[in-house]
Homo-oligomer: A and B are copies of this chain.
Amino acid sequence: MPELRRDPVIGRWVIISTERGKRPDDFKREKRPAKGGFCPFCKGNEDKTPPEVLAFRDPLSLPDSPGWKVRVVPNKFPALQIEGDLGKRADGIYDMMRGVGAHEVLIESPEHEQQLADLPNDHVESIFWALRDRCIDLNKDSRFQYILIFKNWGEDAGASLEHSHMQLIATPIIPKRAIEELDGAKLHYQLKDRCIFCDIIEQEIDVDKRIIHQNENFIAIAPYASRFPFETWVLPLKHISAFEKTTAEWFVQLSDIMKTVLKKISTILDEPPFNFIIHTAPCKTPELEYYHWHIEIMPKLTRVAGFEWGSGFYINPIPPEDAAETLRNTNEKNQAQ
């Protein structure tokens, strides 16, 4: 059973996951995922994953068989385990609980080579719908406090399988980074009676120096204090605190802007590895006046991360104004749709 342990100084929770069965020898060299070869996410291999928890599929097809467009399955090597109670306890001066949670994988397409940005608009919409459905379902579990939704693409960004996918991790604690963001936003609201993210959007539209793309409902910006070259945030223009409360017509625009931005990044940076994370309100909170969900996209281009993640001190050699201008002026490749 994995454990959740709390750092006693700064309060960060860490999953100590022994289920993945790694031994010291496994770390001597960074293992690169095998290219080619067998892929459990491809159509026809549905029996090589745990049974699906959600699929958008041909109504005549059977679960865990071909005929799907988007498929969500439990992670075969989960960081957290779905069964049991939390068993919160002290370990001397330390705090820990059992590693209870959900860890799911969303397979974006049955085709191995398909990338998120190249899928048709309605297919990308389905992916966001599936994420929303899973959020709503996992939200019902009283043990879960936060749902982390993220995508790792490319081996240098931590993707262990080539086939394009996203992950959901439902956790019994709120991750430290989410708490910091919520606290910072709450403080701004207390001082100003305004949402900090709404303020950011207004200033960015006003100065028009860091906008990468905009459509009816969303804006993509290079954030003022970008940690990484070409870091990109995608925010809904209208204030809304939780991703899963986004409505149908907004997913059309979300798919459009995510495809556009990812294609621009891919074109200008030659298909870089990247991560994105959906920043959203904790489970079971009402609509929050002070928080505003958004997506943070981080191309993984520089290697200085080791020091930076340890110190919280980032050095970014590309001003976000330059990154935004470059991305704004990039004509994304028009892939066949």
Chain A's interface: helix, strand, loop or mixed, by majority?
A: mixed
* Cα-based distance from A308 to B225 in the complex (angstroms): 19
Contact check, A225 vs B94: say whether CB atoms are below 8 A apart: yes
* Cα-based distance from A17 to B320 in the complex (angstroms): 11
Q: A286-309, CB under 8 A of B: which get 1 and which 0?
A: 000000000010111111111111
* Cα-based distance from A156 to B27 in the complex (angstroms): 14
Contact check, A229 vs B14: say whether CB atoms are below 8 A apart: no
Q: Which residues of B contact A230 (CB under 8 A)?
A: 24, 27
- Beyond contacts A15-B316, A20-B317: 8 other A-B pairs, Cβ-Cβ < 8 A, are A27-B272, A28-B269, A28-B272, A155-B303, A158-B302, A177-B310, A298-B310, A305-B309
Contact check, A16 vs B313: say whether CB atoms are below 8 A apart: no
Is A188 interfacial (CB 8 A cutoff)? yes
Is A250 interfacial (CB 8 A cutoff)? no
Contact check, B14 vs A227: say whether CB atoms are below 8 A apart: yes
Q: Which residues of B contact A272 (CB under 8 A)?
A: 27-28
* Cα-based distance from A9 to B20 in the complex (angstroms): 35
Contact check, A28 vs B315: say whether CB atoms are below 8 A apart: no
Among A93, A156, A277, residue most surrounded by chain B Cβ atoms (within 10 Å): A93
Among A185, A308, A313, A320, residue most surrounded by chain B Cβ atoms (within 10 Å): A313
Interface residues of A in 9-55 (CB under 8 A from B): 9-18, 20-22, 24, 27-30
Q: A144-157, CB under 8 A of B: which get 1 and which 0?
A: 00001010100111
Total copies of this chain within the assembly: 2
Q: Which of A104-112, A195-203, A211-219, A240-248 contacts B (4 or more CB under 8 A)?
A: A195-203
Interface size on A, residues (CB 8 A): 95
Q: Which residue in chain B gives the minimum CB-CB distance to A202?
A: B93
* Cα-based distance from A157 to B303 in the complex (angstroms): 7
Q: Which residues of B contact A312 (CB under 8 A)?
A: 12, 175-178, 180
Q: List 13 interface pairs A-B (beta carbons < 8 Å), by A numbering.
A: A5-B225, A6-B225, A9-B181, A10-B177, A10-B180, A13-B313, A17-B317, A24-B229, A24-B318, A27-B318, A93-B200, A156-B306, A277-B311
